Structure 1
């Protein structure tokens, strides 16, 4: 057989950037009729994605942006496996079950080996499942007592939007404790003021979205214990530990926020935040079987046993669950502790450096909650606002959000940084250099008119 050596022209003809497709824009509104070379289309889409921000400089997101290569390889192995299809992929289902037991043990469930829980697409879905369980159990109790079930309410502190969605979707009154003055979180006293026989539960947040604080789960539980003794009202607690559920066991092991409090009946957390897994995995664990109303549970037999299935989604990827299990085994308690301790040290460093600038008041420094920090402008006169400062930092690629606080403190604008795995001390020092440069520029070149929140991009918490 005759082999002909490719000429230079042949090689050029096969190159990506001599393809006719590179002389056209990608279709945006209709599907093209013809097929196209995969390598060319991949390159063009790749190049469009270059216009996104650098996720490693996104200090607004709670989500992980750095991963070991082994995680990417494991997720590739699972690309064709549907998490819900437990009969077809029994070992993947077994890995999910192991994660549930590990988390139950981590959160001090009394019978971790018999724990009930599930993975979800994120902590928002897990939170909604927790809310549904509270609602169904309350309805059942009210019916048994011959009482109405038309006006359920749920008590929270300042919460992420998923709880507003839950309340609207399921017809529950959300009694959200507003911020007042320098109080940015719920207190036990504010909770008790809002309790009645229609309260389906109380939801403290372990790592408040707006600031990073933990809400006082233990004090809330003790106050509800006292209320039950006085009135007979037995109000359960669901802990939204979207961020703190993977931090507190390692940095604040003595803090009794979890199932060591008998009143805590369920906990949700996000695996893709401080659980260190890729985007798309959350978890919910219940204290015991009776905390899940049977009407909400679908039973699936596999691996010779019976496993409850309870989720809002059906088909979903399994790679993130496998990655979560990898992290549990790969890092262990020592690894998670070391990673979160480093993040906490960097948060404390940044808070100290920002405080030294003399322009700001630190609201939260990262010492007793999640590895994060938040601050506001002090009372001195300024020729700029925090939206201007955030906008200036974007010129160096940093996303350090500025946003107005929620109800009753919408007059207060703050900035916040989440310190996650992959953000080193070296990067923190480079950030502070750029922060100081941005501050110096705004002081030297005052703006005629500062940016508003809408003009600054309408930052959303996530």
Structure 2
């Protein structure tokens, strides 16, 4: 730390120079986050000093969080759902499994997740001393139900299904997982960190949320397709019983018990999520998701014109493109300032997310570069 103070304008100028080293969202195909909606930024700034870790001091902000959770629950088929605004999908997934473990009493049990599950579940196994059993995927890159059934036993604390997988944007057969969870009497958690703000606005007939009675908890991230500021995740439980399994006594705060993982929690994130949901409403989100899906269709059409097929027909605004030598193609694209990622083995492919910051024009530029790169490699 400096001994003497530095004028504020010099500090800000230094920060501006540092930020110039960051890349631009205009060239990002690899991220499930986007620029926050302007109203989210305004709301965030209004609540910077609020701490939901001690909600009795900030009753107005606590009320905003409660209303945000209610709206999320309504979106996911259960207006009475309980939960809180977390730091993101990782925290939400940890807490959902922790609640399942605490309720089950299986101190050294296991959880069953799809092979396509987010890496947060590997962290969960380590943190909670649970065996993470990974079920195989079917030909459509959804979890294979027969594989799940082969892995389940009396020590299984929870089943996990994904509604919008990170790599493929695929939705697991949650209805079938719900039947298994109901039969065994165990917790079913749905990780819809990305899909939670996409699937409700698509007319695809899929059932994956609290409308299925066996679904116990859902992860949904407002800072992804919800256009809130970072970090703003969401964790919802069907009822208060699940939440009670997370309670910790907080002896010196304004409330006697706390259910969140972190102690100090920013009220600004909850305010940002609330502001966007109130401002856009279902109509605005439907329009936004429609735009992202049109970008997705545009990309797939253009890719096919240059001889590139997706691994699966996109379910949402995530595309995995089959190209020869994916690592080399990715490297060459990165050299041209296109920020793309890859899926894991055994289905290596280019992974592209079509978010609100992308445009039809940039997709065309990307495809032109991809065509050149593929011609050079071949």
Alignment of 1:262-411 (within 5 A): 262-294=213-245, 296=247, 309-358=258-307, 360-366=308-314, 368=315, 370-377=316-323, 385-405=325-345, 409=346
> Could you tell me how far 1:424 is from its partner in structure 2?
2.3
Match of 1:172 in 2: 130
> Aligned partners of 2:317 and 2:9: how far apart in 1?
41
Label 1:160 to 1:86 Cα distance change in 2 as closer, same or farther (>3 A). Answer: same
How many equivalent pairs are there?
376
Q: Deviations over 1:299-349 (max 9, x none)?
A: 89x99xx99731111113222211111111111001111110110111122
Q: Distance in 1 between matches of 2:200 and 2:144?
A: 22
Aligned match of 2:11: 41
Q: Would the aligned equivalents of 1:365 and 1:372 in 2 still touch at CA under 8 Å?
A: no
Q: CA deviation at 1:291?
A: 2.5
Corresponding residue for residue 237 of structure 1:
188
The verdict on how the C-alpha distance between 1:298 and 1:108 changes in structure 2, with shifts beyond 3 A counting, is farther
In the alignment, structure 2 segments of 5+ residues that lack a partner are: none
Q: Does 1:432 align with 2:370?
A: no
C-alpha distance in structure 2 between counterparts of 1:249 and 1:102, whole Å: 13
Check whether the contact 1:153–1:199 (CA below 8 A) recurs between aligned residues: yes
CA 1:253–1:319 in 2, change beyond 3 Å: closer, same or farther? farther
Aligned mates of 2:333, 2:214 — CA distance in 1: 45
| Offset of residue 74 of structure 1 | 2.0
1:294–1:132: structure 2 CA closer, same or farther, 3 Å change rule? closer
For the pair 1:137 / 2:103, whether they are aligned, the reply is: yes
Q: Are the counterparts in 1 of residues 318 and 353 from structure 2 also a CA contact under 8 Å?
A: yes
TM-superposed CA distance for 1:253, in Å, is 6.6
Q: Which secondary structure state, in structure 1, belongs to the residue aligned with residue 349 of structure 2?
A: strand
- Report the TM-score when normalising by structure 2: 0.92
Gaps of 5+ in 1: 1-30, 140-148, 444-462
Structure ranking higher on relative contact order (CA contacts 8 Å, 6+ apart)? 2
Write the mapping of 1:106-255 to structure 2, written as runs, cut at 5 A.
106-109=75-78, 112=79, 114-139=80-105, 149-158=106-115, 159-179=117-137, 182=139, 184-225=141-182, 228=183, 233-252=184-203, 254-255=205-206
Q: Is the 8 A contact 1:137 1:293 kept in 2?
A: no
